[in-house]
Amino acid sequence: MSSRKFNQIIVRLFVILLLPANLVAADEGKFTPEKQTKEIPERLQELYGITEDVDYDKDEQGVKQIRLQTLKQAAFSWGVQEGLYWRYNKVVESLDKQSLELHTVFSFNKFIVDGKMLLPSIIKAERIFEQTTEDTARTVNVSFTLDKPARLVPQTPTWRDYLLRTIDAPQKPHDVIFPRTIEETSVWIENLDKGWEEGVKQADDIFEIDLRRLQRDIEGMYRFRKLLAMGVVTMPKISSSKYSVVKLDNGRTLNLNDVVYSITTQSDFETTEKWEPFFRLSGSGK
């Protein structure tokens, strides 16, 4: 996979973050009596109408004791949950449509050794300036760091392990908290809107964080392979111990052909003498 192709899919995934504007611009807006329902997302429209069917006994329920502040908090909290849940499911739908391409671009197969060991990841930093004291500073042109060591995995990771999360379904507030007057309804809708917007933002933030983590790990493992070919880093080593019969749990469990894998040596940076000729330090004779 070329660097250009990789960057194109990254850009495309980040475009998903713009979906709130694209999806909502045509059918979402601040709720006012003058606006028609088609201007509001369908789920948010449903939330507005949920309170309409609640039957209140004003004398027994003590409506006057329900403070607006409590109503604001309940509406905002519910709006956050609904907005987060709605938006994140939109993101998942978009990702599922690109599933095949994502599996190709973000393939971890090339980073698996012996079907069990996932290669290390290396991060790169450039043009570093470090001020240690007022009289001392350090500048570094390029720095490589072994960010994640090699590790054993039960199966090859996929983009789904990074980009898909389980988001809890929203919890509907108790009916007693719902608005019962025109004033309370206005405050309720206002804070429901604010919560919805905050929930949408949280969903986008979650997706962006997960996408950056996936991008960082993939690029880091590509970087490791490149530096390995240049002789800059060492290859981690894996070993296995095979046992024909193993008894466990005081003899209550019997394992046949039991194989224990372990990483015996992690990666490290080689001395410059072992680097390939095409990877030289500026001004170095090596």
Convert the pLDDT of each residue in 211-248 to its tens digit: 999 999 999 999 999 999 999 999 999 998 888 988 88
- Count CA within 13 A, CB hemisphere, residue 44: 32
Sequence-ordered strand ranges (E) for 53-178? 112-113, 117-118, 121-131, 137-148, 151-152
Q: Is the pLDDT of residue 249 over 90?
A: no
Which has more pLDDT, 183 or 91?
91
For the cut 50, the answer to whether the pLDDT of residue 59 exceeds it is no
Task: Give me the mean pLDDT over the 57-83 stretch.
Answer: 74
Report the distance separating Cα 254 and Cα 266, nearest Å. 32
Answering whether pTM is above 0.75, one says: no
**The predicted structure's pLDDT at residue 25:** 37
Has residue 13 got a pLDDT over 90? no
**Distant-in-sequence, close-in-space partners of 62: CB < 8 Å, separation ≥ 6:** none
C-alpha 147: how far from chain center: 18
175-203 pLDDT, tens digit per residue, is 888 887 888 888 899 999 999 999 999 99
Q: Which of 100, 108, 94, 106 is nearest to 13 (CA)?
A: 94
Mean pLDDT, all residues of the chain: 81
